[in-house]
Structures are given as C-alpha cells and as structure tokens.
C-alpha cells in the first residue's frame, strides 16, 4: 500500500566513459598506472630472489621496446597523477589560514606541485650524480 | 553505548591511509623512479650499464634502508591502485563487492606479504 517508489535518475550504461565523468575515470585509472609500476618493481624483486640468470632475463625485458613504451606510458600517466593529486589536495586537507586570510586552493596546488617536481628532480640528479 | 559505537567502527580509514601514502609517495617521486629504472638505466642514458646489474640490485635489496624503500614503494603503490580501482569498479557496478575487494585489496595484501617474504629471503 505504502510501497516506496523513490525516483531514480536514469544513468547511461557507460556513464563513466562520457563527460563529465570521464575526467574522474581517467584520474582514477592513473592510480592503476601507479600500481602497474609497482608490479614492474615487484617482478624485478621476484627475479632478483631467484638468482642472476632470472634477473638478467628481467633486465632483458626492461631493455625491450615493449618495456620502454610501457614506461613512457606509465610516465605520462603518473605525471597526470601528480597534477590531479595536488588538484584534490586542498579539498582533502584543513584550511590554511595565513594572516587571517585563507590561502586559496590554487596556491596550495601550485606550491605542492612545484614541491613534487623538486622532489623528483632532486632524486633524479642525486641518482645521476651517485652513479656517474 | 560506547561498545555499540565501537562495533560500528569502519576499517576503511586504514585503506584510505595506505591509499593516501601511496598517492603522495608516487606523486613526489614516481616520475623520477619511472624515468630512472624504466627509461634511463635500461637505455644506458646518463647511467652506467652496471647501474641495474644483479650485484647492484642485490646490494640495494640487502641493505636495510633499501629493503624499507622497496617494501614501501611496491606495497603502497599497489594499495593506492587498489583503492582507486575498487571504488571505480564499485561505482561501475562491475561485480559483487566481495569479488571486487579480493581483486583489488586482496591483491595488494598478497603483494605486500610476498614482498616482505622476498626481502627476508634475499637476506641482509
């Protein structure tokens, strides 16, 4: 008699592949790219534990065009992750008040993205310097 | 009352913490890591051929700090991807929640344990 029949807005079956949701889907998938790079390192650790021959085979894979292409795609996806990660940062952290004024979200995003770029650059230069 | 509240406590924050840690580590160092291990070292660009050799990799994995870095990077990157993939597949209604959880958090948990075991088996 009093059966609830709430209105449910119809959703397209592939809503996640179309705007405006596509941007969110891409952002979330960049997290999967992060995990795929984790899997590449994990595979290296397995072959390292199995011995020199196994690790040489792993190095052979890393030098293959397929792997280089994969890492180029992973690099692009992770750069996208860096940008979107710091775009969401101001929404997930407490407000920052300086001199009684709230620091605008864009400023936080800019500073954090620059700091992340500096971190990666320092790690890169440090590695090149140590290995020279 | 407090017991009832405690029972309802969610374990989600643990996953958020791992997700956030993985997201931050990958955002700060991910580009450099991929560039070094995936592009520069294999092609010998700016780095010597021996950079990724078995001996060097073994020495890194035997060093306590190297072990910590490997465990943190591998497991946190998996937890980060797992959280994002799980929530996306859940929103897509891609399958039963248990299957989605096992396929994302389950994989991340297995990889974390396996990484721990591998690092121990490699020795110090």
Taking the domain A15-131, which CATH number applies?
1.20.1300.10
pLDDT in the model for residue A1 = 58
Architecture per CATH, domain B11-122, reads as Up-down Bundle (1.20)
Domain ranges of chain A: 15-131
Over residues B46-65, the mean pLDDT reads 90
| DSSP secondary structure, B56-95, as one string | HHHHHHHSHHHHHHHHHHHHHHHHHHHHHHHHHHHHTT-S
Q: d(Cα B45, Cα A102) in Å, to the nearest integer?
A: 45
For residue A29, list chain B residues with Cβ-Cβ distance below 8 A: 84, 88
The model's pLDDT over A85-99, given as tens digits with 9 standing for 90+, comes to 999 999 888 888 888
Q: Give yes or no for a contact between B119 and B70, defined as CB atoms under 8 angstroms apart.
A: yes
Higher pLDDT, B50 or A55: A55
What is the model's pTM?
0.90
| DSSP secondary structure, A108-124, as one string | HHHHHHHHHHHHHHHHH
Q: Residue A71 and residue B38: Cβ atoms within 8 Å?
A: yes
End-to-end Cα spacing for chain A: 80
Q: Is A121 left (phi over 0), alpha (psi -120 to 50) or beta?
A: alpha
Rg (CA), chain B: 18
Q: Residue B38 and residue A35: Cβ atoms within 8 Å?
A: no
Q: Residue B77 and residue A38: Cβ atoms within 8 Å?
A: yes
Q: d(Cα A92, Cα A74) in Å, to the nearest integer?
A: 25
Q: Residue B32 and residue A52: Cβ atoms within 8 Å?
A: no
Minimum mean pLDDT among A26-30, A86-90, A124-128, B49-53: which range? B49-53
pLDDT for residue B97 is more than 60: yes
| Rounded to 5°, angle at Cα B91 from A113 and B112 | 65
pLDDT in the model for residue B5 = 56
Q: Which residues pair with A97 in a beta bridge?
A: A102
Closest C-alpha to A22, from B49, B123, B47, B91: B91
For residue B75, list chain A residues with Cβ-Cβ distance below 8 A: 38
Task: Kindly state whether A48 is in contact with chain B, defined as any CB-CB distance less than 8 angstroms.
Answer: yes
pLDDT for residue B109 is more than 80: yes
Q: Residue A86 and residue B27: Cβ atoms within 8 Å?
A: yes
Q: Residue A48 and residue B61: Cβ atoms within 8 Å?
A: yes
Enumerate residues 90 to 129 of chain A having a beta carbon within 8 A of any beta carbon in chain B. Answer: 92, 115-116, 119-121, 123-124, 127-128
Query: Which among A52, A70, A119 has the least Cβ separation from residue B28?
Result: A119
Domain ranges of chain B: 11-122
Closest C-alpha to B15, from B106, B111, B98: B106
The model's pLDDT over A28-81, given as tens digits with 9 standing for 90+, comes to 999 999 999 999 999 999 999 999 999 999 999 999 999 999 999 999 999 999
Query: Which among B41, B80, B122 has the least Cβ separation from residue A35?
Result: B80
Q: Residue A82 and residue B32: Cβ atoms within 8 Å?
A: no
CA distance B124 to chain A (A): 12
The separation between CA B27 and the C-alpha centre of its own chain, rounded to angstroms, equals: 13
pLDDT in the model for residue B50 = 84
Q: Residue B85 and residue A44: Cβ atoms within 8 Å?
A: no
Mean of pLDDT over chain B: 91
């Amino acid at each position: 008699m009093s059966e609830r029949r709430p209105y449910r807005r119809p959703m397209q079956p592939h809503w996640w592949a179309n705007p405006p949701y596509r941007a969110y889907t891409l952002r979330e998938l960049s997290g999967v790219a992060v995990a795929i790079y984790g899997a590449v390192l994990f595979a290296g650790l397995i072959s390292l534990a199995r011995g020199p021959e196994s690790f040489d085979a792993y190095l052979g894979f890393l030098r293959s065009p397929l792997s280089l292409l994969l890492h180029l795609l992973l690099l692009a996806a992770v750069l996208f992750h860096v940008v979107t990660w710091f775009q969401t940062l101001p929404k997930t952290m407490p407000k920052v008040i300086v001199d009684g004024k709230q620091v605008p979200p864009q400023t936080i995003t800019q500073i954090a993205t620059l700091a992340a770029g500096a971190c990666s650059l320092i790690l890169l230069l440090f590695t090149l310097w140590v290995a020279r | 009352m407090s017991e009832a509240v405690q029972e309802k406590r969610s374990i989600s924050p643990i996953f958020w913490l791992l997700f956030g840690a993985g997201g931050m580590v990958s955002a700060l160092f991910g580009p450099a890591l991929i560039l070094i291990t995936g592009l520069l070292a294999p092609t010998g660009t700016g780095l010597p051929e021996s950079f990724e050799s078995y001996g060097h990799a073994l020495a890194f994995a035997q060093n306590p700090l190297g072990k910590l870095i490997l465990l943190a990077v591998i497991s946190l990157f998996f937890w980060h991807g797992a959280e994002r993939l799980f929530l996306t597949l859940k929103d897509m209604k891609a399958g039963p929640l248990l299957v989605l959880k096992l396929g994302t958090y389950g994989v991340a948990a297995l990889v974390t344990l396996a990484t721990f075991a591998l690092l121990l088996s490699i020795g110090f």
